[in-house]
Amino acid sequence: MRQGLAHQMLTEKCEAIIMIDPQKEIDWNEIWKSRTRGNRNSSPGRDCARIWESRESALRFWNMCLENSHRTEMVIRGTDITADSRVLDIGSGPGTLAIPFAGKVAHVTAVEPAQGMTDVLKEKMAEFGRENISIVRKCWEDVDVDVEKDLEPPYDVVIASFSLGMQEIRAAIEKMMQASSRYIYLYHFAGPSSWDRQWQELWPLLHGKEYLPGPKSDVLYNVLYQMGIYPNVMTFGLEHNQRYSTLDEAMVALAPQAHAETDEQKALLREYLWETMQEEGGALLMPGSSIRVKMWWEK
């Protein structure tokens, strides 16, 4: 009797699973959009264009990248370029890739929406004598790929390094394909980044709501697969440290990102930083690590 009931329950469970319409294909672009919306709605105002509007924030980002220059060197070495190459750098930031690329190729076009980032990029172009960089101050979604408009395609290399915050990722990739004559390189995250973990701890304390990370490389790979693109994939771990001279400096840098505006919020953030940061060489270090993924293919 019990065996018969168990068999009936198992059969009903299996039938329920089958009823989920196994023939219907998952739309991975919609998954990407849903997770991007979830991230933006859970933490409004944390998009990159707003975070990096000030020159001070952008310069701090540049200096942080110098602390972790091995990542930049790895990206440059891992890109198929020649002295005649033309490179399109999407989400260039203050030029952490555009500046070294420009020393090795014929031309770099840097697409970057944030005012602070482009201000620092111009300063670094002058400092390093890089005259072969053109800047397009727009989000990638707003860029017109046609010749004599925003860009000058085709580009031998199109690269988007940890700058895939687009809502419509499929359309963004199609535009990259349109701009490229040969290679596309995408860098993204696998699993939560150190700042995902940081905001997942802090956001409920500061704002009383859950922080939702954006889509990761699993979704990106499946979007590409559904587009008929089967990229090379390399996964690697990376440690990255943020260094501050004082706790006050860390507060100035992170309070705007955390939307810590009230005295209570600032006190909570300060306590979190005090408990999390490590002393090293007379400075305070915010250690971080993440699993990252490089996907690339040739047209």
Domain boundaries, the chain: 26-191+213-239+291-298
pLDDT (0 to 100) of residue 22:
53
107 forms beta bridges with: 86
Q: How far apart are CA 240 and CA 207, in angstroms?
A: 27
CA atoms within 13 A on the CB side of 238: 28
Between these two residues, 51 and 195, which has the higher pLDDT value? 195
List beta partners, residue 151: 147
pLDDT class of 238 with cuts at 50, 70, 90: confident
SS3 239: strand
* Residue 18 pLDDT: 39
Q: How many CB atoms lie within 10 A of CB 62?
A: 19
E strands of the chain, at which residues? Answer: 86-90, 107-111, 133-136, 155-161, 180-190, 232-239, 242-244, 278-280, 283-286, 289-298
pLDDT at position 240 is 80
The band of 273, judged by pLDDT with boundaries at 50, 70 and 90, is very high
Judged against a pLDDT cut of 60, whether residue 7 lies above it is answered with no
Name the pTM for this structure: 0.87
Helical pair 115-128 and 55-67, crossing angle rounded to 10 deg = 60
DSSP label of 213: -
The pLDDT of residue 203 is above 70? yes
Angle, to 10 degrees, between the axis of helix 169-179 and the axis of helix 217-226?
60
Residues 179-188 have a mean pLDDT of 98
- At the topology level of CATH, where does 26-191+213-239+291-298 sit? Rossmann fold (3.40.50)
Mean of pLDDT values over 198-219: 95
CA–CA separation, 151 and 279 (whole Å): 45
> For residue 168, what pLDDT is reported?
96
Q: Note the pLDDT of residue 15.
A: 38
Whether pLDDT at 93 is above 80: yes
Q: What is the pLDDT of residues 21-71, one digit of tens each?
A: 555 789 999 999 999 999 999 987 666 666 788 898 889 889 888 877 888
d(CA 211, CA 154): 39
Mean model confidence pLDDT for the chain: 89
Reported as a single tens digit per residue, the pLDDT across 70-86 is: 889 999 999 999 999 99
Give pLDDT, residue 6: 40
Mean pLDDT of 104-133: 97
Which residues have CB under 8 Å from 222's CB, separation 6+? 26, 28, 31
Asked if residues 189 and 219 have their Cβ atoms less than 8 Å apart, the reply is: no
Position with higher pLDDT, 11 vs 293: 293
